[in-house]
C-alpha cells in the first residue's frame, strides 16, 4: 500500500459547496471569492484578504505592491521553494539569501542582523525581506519586524505552509508583516486545488493588489482618471495580470476553511505521536517552540550523521521501494543552476546546506491512520538499520 507524504482531504461538504457554484450564475468573478476572502480575513484577524490564482502569483504581485523593481534588493531564505526567490526576479530585482537557524529551519534573525549591518555599510540594504514559515512553523517575526523598523525594509511573509498557525497568540499574518502570502495547493493545510491569497492591514496595499491581480483594471468610478463614458466603462491603470481565483475554487476554499482548526488539531496530534515514536531513532526531529504553533504542513526529519552511517539517498530509495512517498524539502535555492549562474555556490549558506543534506519529509496528513503511521515508523527504522 502506497502512503504519500501528503494528500488532500475532500469531504461531502466540499463537494456540495463546489456543486452549488457550478449550478449558480457565476463560475468566476462572482460572490464566492469575496466571501472566501472575508472569511479568511476574519479567521486570521486581518483587515484585508486578496485571493489569487496561486501563491507564486501572490508573491509576484506582493513584491510589485511593495515597490520592488530593477533597482531593488530582495532577501529570502535558501530553505524554501523556488517561488520565494523567483518572485523578486520577475520584478527585475537582485536576490540574496540569509542562512537558516538550524533548529527552526527558518531564516535566522542573528544572521539577518549580521548581514543587514554589513549591507548598510556597503549601501546595499534590501527593500524587501521574504521570511518563509518552513513546514508551517512561524518565523521569528517580532525580531524581524524590529530589524525592518531599524533598517527600513518591508516584510513579505511567505506563509504558504502556515495557514492556521499562530505566533505569540495571534494568527500568522495578522501582526508583523506588511504582506503575508498563503498557498492553497492540493497538499497544503487547506486547498482550493490551486490558489493563493495575500493578507494585509493596509487598505492602500490591498487596493493595489486587487488592481494587479486583474489586468491593472478598475470599474470603480472613484478610482478613474476621467468620468465614465457609460456603464460599460473601465480603465487600465497599471500593467497587471490575470491572476484571479475562480468562484469554484473559492467555494472549495471556504468549505475547507470552516474546518481549519479541526485539521490543525489532527495534524498536531499526528506530529506529537511521531515525536514519541521516533524519539529513539538516529534522527533530528522538527522543533517545537513555546511561543508559536505550527500548522504542520510537513513533518521533516534529519538523519543524524553523528549517530548513524546511513546515507539519506539509500534510506530514501528503500522507503520509496517499500511504498512510502517520502520527499525532500528543499534543495537550497542558491544551488539551483539559475542562481549558481548569479555567483552563488555551495558553502555560502552552510546551515541550509547541512539541513538539506540529511532532510527527509515523511507522511503527514489529517487522514493518516495510526496503523499507517506505525508502518511509516517501522519502515523508517528498518531503513536506517539496513543502510547503516
DSSP alpha helix (H) spans, 177-322: 203-213, 247-257, 260-277, 312-321
C-alpha cell at 196: 493563493
CA distance 129 to 131: 6
Catalytic residues: 188
CA distance 210 to 377: 46
CA distances from 10 to 1, 171, 180, 191, 261 (A): 20, 24, 26, 9, 16
Phi, psi of 267 (to 5 degrees): -65, -45
User: What contacts 24+ positions apart, CB below 8 Å, involve 366-375?
Assistant: 366/9, 366/263, 366/266, 366/267, 366/270, 367/7, 367/9, 368/3, 368/270, 370/273, 372/1, 372/3, 373/270, 373/273, 373/274, 373/277, 374/277, 375/3
Amino acid at each position: 500500500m502506497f502512503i504519500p507524504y501528503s494528500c488532500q482531504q475532500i469531504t461531502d461538504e466540499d463537494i456540495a459547496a463546489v456543486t452549488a457554484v457550478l449550478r449558480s450564475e457565476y463560475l468566476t468573478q462572482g460572490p464566492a471569492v469575496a466571501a472566501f476572502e472575508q472569511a479568511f480575513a476574519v479567521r486570521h484577524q486581518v483587515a484585508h484578504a486578496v485571493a489569487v490564482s496561486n501563491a507564486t502569483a501572490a508573491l509576484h504581485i506582493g513584491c510589485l505592491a511593495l515597490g520592488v523593481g530593477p533597482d531593488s534588493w530582495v532577501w529570502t531564505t535558501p530553505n524554501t521553494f523556488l517561488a520565494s526567490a523567483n518572485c523578486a526576479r520577475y520584478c527585475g530585482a537582485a536576490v540574496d539569501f540569509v542562512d537558516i537557524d538550524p533548529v527552526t529551519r527558518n531564516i535566522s534573525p542573528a544572521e539577518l542582523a549580521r548581514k543587514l549591518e554589513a549591507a548598510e555599510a556597503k549601501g546595499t540594504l534590501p527593500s524587501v525581506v521574504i521570511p518563509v514559515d518552513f513546514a508551517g512553523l512561524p518565523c521569528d517575526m517580532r525580531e524581524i519586524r524590529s530589524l525592518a523598523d531599524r533598517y527600513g525594509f518591508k516584510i513579505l511573509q511567505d506563509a504558504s505552509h502556515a495557514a492556521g498557525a499562530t505566533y505569540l497568540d495571534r494568527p500568522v499574518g495578522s501582526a508583523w508583516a506588511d504582506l503575508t502570502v498563503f498557498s492553497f495547493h492540493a497538499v497544503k493545510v487547506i486547498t482550493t486545488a490551486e490558489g493563493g491569497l495575500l493578507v494585509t492591514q493596509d487598505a492602500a496595499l490591498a487596493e493595489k493588489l486587487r488592481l494587479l491581480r486583474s489586468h491593472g483594471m478598475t470599474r470603480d468610478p472613484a478610482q478613474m482618471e476621467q468620468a465614465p463614458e457609460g456603464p460599460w466603462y473601465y480603465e487600465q491603470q497599471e500593467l497587471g495580470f490575470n491572476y484571479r481565483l475562480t468562484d469554484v475554487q473559492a467555494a472549495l476554499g471556504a468549505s475547507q476553511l470552516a474546518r481549519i482548526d479541526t485539521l490543525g488539531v489532527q495534524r498536531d496530534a499526528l506530529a506529537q505521536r511521531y515525536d514519541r515514536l521516533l524519539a529513539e531513532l538516529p534522527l533530528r526531529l522538527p522543533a517545537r517552540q513555546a511561543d508559536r504553533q505550527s500548522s504542520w504542513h510537513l513533518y521533516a526529519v534529519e538523519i543524524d550523521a553523528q549517530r548513524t552511517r546511513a546515507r539519506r539517498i539509500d534510506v530514501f530509495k528503500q522507503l520509496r521501494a517499500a511504498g512510502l512517498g517520502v520527499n525532500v524539502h528543499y534543495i537550497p535555492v542558491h544551488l539551483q543552476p539559475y542562481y549558481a549562474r548569479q555567483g552563488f555556490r555551495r558553502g555560502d549558506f552552510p546551515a541550509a546546506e547541512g539541513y538539506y543534506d540529511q532532510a527527509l519529509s515523511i507522511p503527514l496528513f489529517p487522514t493518516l491512520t495510526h496503523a499507517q503511521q506505525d508502518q511509516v515508523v517501522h519502515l523508517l527504522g528498518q531503513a536506517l538499520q539496513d543502510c547503516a
